[in-house]
Amino acid sequence: MPPREDDGGSTGPAMPDLEMPNNPWPDIKKRAGDAGWLKFDPQAAIELGQAISNFQWKLFALRGNATTLTQMVDLATPEITSGPALAKEFGKQGQEMYRILCAHHKILDDMLDSVVAAGKNMANTEEGNVQDLLRQLDGITTPLQETQYNDGKAPGALTQREGDHGKYRKGYNYDADGMPTTRKGAPSGYQSDFHVKDNRKQPDLKAKETLKTGIGETRARSWAALHANRNYLEGGVTADLVADDAAEWKYIGEKISEWSVDFGNAVAKHLNPAAGDDKVWQGEGAQAIKTALDNYRVSLEPLAATAKQHHSLLEYVSQFLVDTHYWAPPYAREEDDPTYYLTDRQQMFGETYVRGVEFTARSIPKLVYPTEAFAGVPPIYDPRDKNKDGKIGDNEKTPGDTNNDGKLSEEERQALARTQGPGPGPGPGPGPANLKSGPGPGPGLTAEQKKAQANAANEQRKAAEFAEQQRRDAARRAREQEAYEQQQRAQNDRRQAEAEQRAKNAAAQQEAYQKQQQAQAAAREAASAAQQAAQQGLQAAQQAAQQALQGGQKGASEALAAAQQAAQNALANGIPKAGDLAAKLGGPGPGPGSMAKGVGLTEAAKLFPRAGAASMATAAGTGLGALGRAGAAPQAMPGSPGPAGAAGQGAGQGQQNYKRPAYLESDQHLDEMLGEAPKVVRPVVEQ
């Protein structure tokens, strides 16, 4: 496995490898080179080996997706502590997925080596195209799979709500001059009944096991905290980043499901072939590797399921963050909010954010580790463990194996050869010329020496095979390292480009938000100034109307008093005396003859407009005639017309009995005499 380098996502130490207790694959790999322990049909080994390699490098590409999940954007401001805490938990889950994929890569690496070694063991026992089979087994490779990154999209907000303020509807407080001062605060004991209509449906994850995070949240946050959190969520950047993470989890889960099907079918094909099973797998280790392969095959889908559950959960998180932003207060102060009290905003915060956080914190699924595939695999014993008790006795150790790994390195083999020394030399040289020659060369190698020599040759062969395997492993590691570095460079470039683009988007959104806030503040100031000016204008108009009304009433009263005084003057001074009236009417004269010479009814009507024509005629025929007679002579003349009994009376007695007509004592028609008075009305001020 290539070492994990800094990929731009974190400056902390590299994540440690996942511990895998009871992992059988390193032991299977170690024993697979022993032809007596395991053999596998070489053609089947080529097919299965290629399937293993393909699956291994596909999972390797998924590590790039998992790297983007190792850190998550905070879900709220630092003051609302549940947001950063929950984001940290999801970041840990991303780190665990990365470590799990690395562990699978290592398992598949040992699996491939074991299958290839077992295929070679059987290929070496066959005739014919042995070298071609070995070449194909050594040539198993898979092109690097490019990492495909995925973007999500946050949904729209739920904008409908249920509930009403009822009698506690929000309004203004007013000062003594009737000017609005602040918005009314919530009444004592007020409880909001607002709810988000058709609130987000929480996903049914059906997780087998979940984490215990202990994260919770309270809705009793201050207005400032709720407003600051709205600004943090402004523009939907946070919700979009969470949706991106959800898309990555979905991709990982779907790809593991898709690829594990192809891999599992290839494994199942060669685990239990229809016929000739004993010819496909041979040796004591056959059952162990077959069980390990089958367990691993069925352990992949649960991992894919937990990845898909993370997608569903984070998709829900993105949704309730959008709703949280929508229902948070856009105003910096509660008194500026025309609709909601702080209690209402806290209620909405609870309906959206608190509800979502509490569900999410108790629903994070536990990821499935590869260790669950290790159970039930038969034990793999060291070849030196003759009694299979899991221990290597001194008599079971390989001579010269100083590190007790069961193999002799080149240095250990050379050191063993030096300690054994040369065998016995030849016999004595020839004697004197007259003596017979000696027995010649001494005896050959002993049985023990021959055995040591054979063991040394066998160890040398094993060392050569081991060196060749190391060379192939090193070449593969080099390819892996190169591919890993290439992938990391591409990933770093993409992440940097994304970060720059997101920073630009966030800056643009922040600038737009600030302009919007400034426009709203200017609009509020203009509205407040206009309202204040309107109030001042209304007060001025009311004062002017009152003054005009008072002035009109005073003028009308004065006009009426003047008219009444003029009427009284007219009544007192405007009626002529009897003698004057008689003279004006034509002087004294006996009877109606003198009336004919006086003024007519029309001129009398002009002088006395309140009298009717009939009354005036009566006055002309009676009263005026009497007045004329009274003014003509002090004593009545015989034969003069007049009322009965008036002939013997004097003028003075007649004047004492005279009474003014009642209509002259009344002011009923005074306004007709004076004419139409000026109209005074209350002025009307336009609203």
pLDDT digits (tens, 9 = 90+) for 522-550: 777 776 677 777 677 677 767 766 776 66
Lowest mean pLDDT among 289-303, 337-351, 455-469, 572-586: 572-586
- Separation of alpha carbons 607 and 444, rounded Å: 185
Is the confidence at residue 654, as pLDDT, over 60? Answer: no
How much is the pLDDT for 593? Answer: 42
Residues 76-100: tens digit of each pLDDT = 999 999 999 999 999 999 999 999 9
> pLDDT exceeding 90 applies to what percent of the chain?
41
Residue 286: name the closest of 116, 32, 83 by CA. Answer: 32
pTM higher than 0.75: no
Partner residues linked to 39 by β-bridges: 282
H helices present in 574-664, as ranges: 578-585, 592-597, 601-607, 613-618, 624-632, 651-656
User: Going by C-beta distance under 8 Å and a sequence separation of 6 or more, which residues neighbour residue 630?
Assistant: 578, 582, 651, 654, 655
How many helices (H) and strands (E) the chain has is answered by 20, 6
How much is the pLDDT for 81? Answer: 96
User: Quick count: other Cβ atoms within 10 Å of Cβ 371?
Assistant: 15
Residues 148-164: tens digit of each pLDDT = 999 999 999 999 999 98
More confident of the two residues 477 and 118: 118
How much is the pLDDT for 625? Answer: 42
Helix axes 447-573, 410-420, angle to 10 degrees: 160
Categorize the per-residue pLDDT at 103 as very low, low, confident or very high, splitting at 50, 70 and 90: very high
Partner residues linked to 365 by β-bridges: 210
Partner residues linked to 172 by β-bridges: 183
| Rounded average pLDDT over 508-519 | 73
Tokens representing 7? 């990929």
How much is the pLDDT for 263? Answer: 96
How much is the pLDDT for 482? Answer: 72
Categorize the per-residue pLDDT at 170 as very low, low, confident or very high, splitting at 50, 70 and 90: confident
Is the confidence at residue 479, as pLDDT, over 90? Answer: no
User: Quick count: other Cβ atoms within 10 Å of Cβ 511?
Assistant: 10
Is the confidence at residue 299, as pLDDT, over 80? Answer: yes
Tokens representing 669? 């028609």
Lowest mean pLDDT among 124-138, 308-322, 480-494, 654-668: 654-668
How much is the pLDDT for 271? Answer: 84
How much is the pLDDT for 91? Answer: 97
Q: Enter the DSSP assignment of 39.
A: E
- Separation of alpha carbons 184 and 429, rounded Å: 128
- Residues 328, 227 contacting (CB under 8 angstroms): yes
Q: How far is CA 483 from the centre of its chain?
A: 37
| Kind of pairing between the strands at 195-196 and 39-40 | unpaired
Is the confidence at residue 178, as pLDDT, over 60? Answer: yes
User: Going by C-beta distance under 8 Å and a sequence separation of 6 or more, which residues neighbour residue 292?
Assistant: 24, 25, 28, 111, 373, 374, 377
Q: What DSSP letter does each residue of 502-513 carry, written as one string?
A: HHHHHHHHHHHH
